[in-house]
Amino acid sequence: MNVELRLQSSKTVDDLIGLSEWLRGERRLQGRVQQVRSNPEPGQLGGAFEVVSVALGSGGIATVLASSVATWLQSRRSDPKLRITITRADRTLEIEASSADEAEELIKRFMDGARGD
């Protein structure tokens, strides 16, 4: 199963790149993280970077993802407008990140629901 992470902030593309690099640096997520671009508009050379896709599997990868996203949130400068959207096959979770701990707990619960389906 893949999950998609979208961000909405004052620097969305920079934040997506930062999150993608952060997740790729997590040993247990290596090889599971992709940057997804939209289809280019007519006249454009390439599409905009809009989603970080993470391939989940067994072995606690969802927990690693939740913890890594929370740690990334703690490491960055605060942006009160940061919104994280996580989509899996049948559900979407949208978080306004005011607290990394709260975000981690919500993501873990959301991912636990993915395993329970």
Residue range(s) defining the domain that contains residue 62 = 2-116
- pLDDT confidence tier of residue 116, bands split at 50, 70 and 90: very low
Judged against a pLDDT cut of 60, whether residue 114 lies above it is answered with no
CATH of residue 76's domain is 3.30.70
Question: DSSP 3-state assignment of 85?
Answer: strand
Mean pLDDT of 88-96: 84
Whether the CB-CB separation of 52 and 3 falls below 8 Å is answered with: no
Q: What percentage of the chain exceeds 90 in pLDDT? A: 21
Q: Which residues contact 73 (CB under 8 A, 6 or more apart)?
A: 82, 97, 100, 103
Q: What is the pLDDT of residues 50-91, one digit of tens each?
A: 889 999 887 788 889 989 998 998 887 766 567 888 888 888
Q: Say which residue the tokens 């939740």 belong to.
A: 66
pTM of the predicted structure, to 2 decimals:
0.80
Q: How many domains does the chain have?
A: 1
**Average pLDDT estimate for 8-24:** 90
Distance, in Å, from the CA atom of 9 to the CA atom of 81, rounded to the nearest integer, reads 5
